Every structure is written in structure tokens, then in C-alpha cells.
Chain A
């Protein structure tokens, strides 16, 4: 809808309220088309495209009130109805922003025990109406983009980067810029957007994509200087990195050591670990009898998941408190603030705390 039209429409809508009070005209228009409402941002699932065995791209057609003005790299809140209840999560937008766009896409990997992500990947029918929240996040490309770029990607951290690459492609920057992508995934099969990246690379002289399968090759030994072998001129590049916490920690340390931290842009994927890590230790799960020994950068939630405990979680970023469990004994550290929790029977948010020594939780 053109800008002038929107203005007039607002006036029509205001006048229409005299006919529909106490409701809004939108409430009746949604009877014709569920997207014709700007009371809440809505979208309709157009299609669900499988990317790998456990990841899918969800293409959403937003309804009224949505502005295709997100910056490549930003994430969007999506509310889905599961079992009669709306659940909200945030996912990076993987489609490029287009003023003429009609759809937006998010790419989601089904997490074990993550019933919302599993539902999104496996249970979402095209035609489903979802709720949307406006895009947010500052992991974005500057305008115009720098001459030389490096993207360091781990696992499903590829989604915001894909949005950036598609934008660069659409604006012709994959030919007039020098772009290196180093993409780690456990295996070739689990690599989201592999085909598209390969085809982009084949078409554009300015793009080099390196694939790394960590099951075979192990993770990139950044502290050991392996980065020089991947991209010798990383110091001269503007770098965007998105992936698991430990990978980003290693990168951050490396860039800081080189005095180049302002050239590194990180997307902490789901949580912002501003504070220092814990010391690591063994986490005991009292009721299930399981345990996991983890380092100080691994959250209690991740520890539980790795041990196969049915851990509750929601936002995975310390906001919703869904993941809160009781710390029976021991000490955990809030990775955002560095604050320690060590009172007996203290409730802790497992998604943002890491063990400091051994600890026990009541699950």
C-alpha cells in the first residue's frame, strides 16, 4: 500500500469506528481476511520449506500495519497458537528487506525439548495465522556496506547472515565487494542454506564460501591462530559472527587481543552474555538422577539438555522465566551480570546461568 493511501486509510478507519464501536473496523474486516487488521500485527504462513532434517524456512505474508523496513540481520517476534495458547519466540529474519516485498521468512531449527521450535518446523500448516512483533536487533549491516567483509557462522547462526548476503546480492555488492563466509556445521547434511550459498558463490566473483564440518574437522581453533589459515586478512575486514556462545566468546577474545574489537559484530544468538562465565563443574539433576559436566560458558539449561533432562525453557534469553528451576545446592553465575546465586533452594534462570563448581538442581 502506498504511503498516501495509508494516510487516507487511517482516516477511513477512524471514521469507521463510529460504526463499529466498541470494536474497531479491523475486527470486522478480519472476517473477510484474517490479515486485514492492524490491531495486532499478524501474518499468514505461506509455506514451510524444509532446509535440513531438523530445520525449515517459514515464509510468512504479513498483514496490515507491517512495514517491510527491517534491517538485514534483525530478528522478529512470532506468536504461534499451540494447544489453544499463544507462545512467543524470536527468530532472525532470513529474507532480505524489500520495499515491494510481500513476504518475510524466518529459518528455524527444531530444538530438542523445544516444543515451539518443533511445532514451527514440523507442525505448521500453510494458511496458519500467526502474530508478529516488530523487528528488532542491532546485528545489522551499515549502509553502504564496507569494502571487505568476513562472516563467521556456526550452525543455525546462519539465518541473520543469510538475510545480509541476500541483501548484498540484490544490491550487487557480491560483485563489487570482497566477502568471505566461513560456515561451520556438524555435518554437510545439517548445513542450512548450503545449496543457496553454493549457488551464490558460483555466480559472484566477490563471494567466497568456506564450509567446515566440525564432526570431521573439529571446530576452528581460533585461539591457536587457525583464523589466519581461513582468512589471512581478517584484521583488515569488518566481521560479523553468529553462532553458539563458546564460539563467539573465543572470537571476542581473539579480536580484543588484536585490539580490533570494534570491527567485530556479534549476534549472541539468543542471549547476551555480558558478564564473565562461571568456572564450570558438574551439574546434578536431582529428580532425574542425571548429571553433566560442562565448562563455565555452558548454561545450566544447555547442560541439562546435553544430559537428556527434560528442561523447561522459553525465550532462552533470561526474560520469560519459564526455565526457572530450584538450585538445591551449589553456586551458579548469571552470565549477563556476573551475579552469583548460591542460596539453598534458590530459584535460578537456567538459560542464563552457568555452574560455578558443582551444583544440584531439582529436576
Chain B
């Protein structure tokens, strides 16, 4: 018993430390502006670029329907923000999924996309799947109540 005492204490402490780490790890978001969710693929690879091909197709659909942010994957808030090129904004159809306003603001100043995108905010949006005869091959988001 005596011999085991200290050892058990040590293991108890390491257990506590590990437990604390696990709890802390819980709170670390897996996705943030350096690893935007909708631009990251299932294999962990990531290309952040203004082009639509950079987006992960299934994650875009998921963000659209689950109503979570395409950067941090947390539930959306109001207003909903979209990032897009001037062309996307002019025709009111965006490729990138809905974002939090803060996530969008942080995303557009990133080196890879700087200058290409601006932020548009809305309360609601329509999720429009691509049609066969349309030039679009990806779904688009059409804000319906711009702010």
C-alpha cells in the first residue's frame, strides 16, 4: 500500500491533467478562418481561392441546409453574410455558403482572396441547385432580404 501511494498520486494527477486537456480541447473549434469549413475537404486538404472550384461541394450543401456558417461550422446568426466577387453580387447569386458576419469579414482580408470578394448581408436566402441547361454547375445562394 505504502509503495503504491505516490505512484497512484502521480497517475491521478496525470489523469486530471489529461481530463483538463480533453475539456479544453473540446472548446477549441475545429474550423475557423484559417481552416474555413466549406473550403476544407474530408481528407483535410484545403484550398482557399475565390474560384468556385475551391469549395467542397457537399459541405456547401450541408451549410446551406443545416444553416451553419461556412467558416466556423457553428449555427448561423442574423444577419447572414455572403462573400463573393462583384459579379456574384451584381447578379445576386453567390457560390460560397452563408457565413457569420465576423467570419466573412475575417475571410475577405485573407491573402488568398484579398481584393476578390466583398461582403453582402441579408436576413434570408434561397438555396438554388444547378439546372442542367444553366452555365452554373454548382448551387447558388440568392439573398432575399438584403440589409
Contacts and interface: CB of A to CB of B under 8 A. Distances in A.
Direct touch of chains A and B (CB < 8 A): yes
Interface of A: 85-86, 88, 314, 320-322, 324, 326, 343, 345-347
Interface string B17-61: 000000000000000000000000000000000000000000000
A161 to B, nearest CB: 29
B120 A321 contact: yes
The 7 closest A-B pairs by CB, nearest first: A347-B86, A347-B90, A326-B90, A347-B89, A320-B147, A346-B86, A321-B120
Interface string B74-91: 000000000000110110
B145 A321 contact: no
Interface string B85-119: 01101100000000000000000000000000000
Contacts of B123: 86
A88 B120 CA distance: 16
Nearest to A362: B90
A45 to B, nearest CB: 23
A324 B119 CA distance: 12
Contact of A322 (B87, B90, B146): B146
16 contacts: A85-B145, A314-B146, A314-B147, A320-B121, A320-B146, A320-B147, A321-B120, A321-B121, A321-B146, A324-B89, A326-B90, A343-B86, A345-B86, A347-B86, A347-B89, A347-B90
Interface of B: 86-87, 89-90, 120-121, 123, 145-147
A350 to B, nearest CB: 13
A88 B90 contact: no
Contacts of A324: 89-90
* Most chain A CB inside 10 Å of its own CB: which residue of B86, B89, B121, B146: B86
B90 A345 contact: yes
A116 B141 CA distance: 26
A226 B123 CA distance: 49
Nearest to B124: A85
B96 to A, nearest CB: 16
Given A324-B89, A345-B86, 10 more contacts: A85-B145, A86-B123, A88-B147, A320-B146, A321-B89, A322-B146, A343-B86, A345-B87, A345-B90, A347-B86
Contacts of A345: 86-87, 90
Contacts of A320: 121, 146-147
A60 to B, nearest CB: 22
A89 B145 CA distance: 15
B115 to A, nearest CB: 11
Nearest to B92: A324
A322 B147 CA distance: 7
* Most chain A CB inside 10 Å of its own CB: which residue of B87, B89, B90: B90
A112 B107 CA distance: 37
* Most chain B CB inside 10 Å of its own CB: which residue of A85, A321, A343: A321
Nearest to A315: B147
A250 to B, nearest CB: 32
B85 to A, nearest CB: 9
Contacts of A321: 89, 120-121, 146
Nearest to A341: B86
Contacts of B86: 343, 345-347
Contacts of A343: 86
A321 B89 CA distance: 10
Nearest to A327: B86
A313 to B, nearest CB: 12
B94 to A, nearest CB: 13
Contacts of A346: 86
Nearest to B120: A321
A345 B90 CA distance: 9
Nearest to B147: A320
Contacts of A88: 147
B78 to A, nearest CB: 11
Nearest to A348: B86
A346 B90 CA distance: 9
A321 B123 CA distance: 14
Nearest to B85: A347
B42 to A, nearest CB: 34
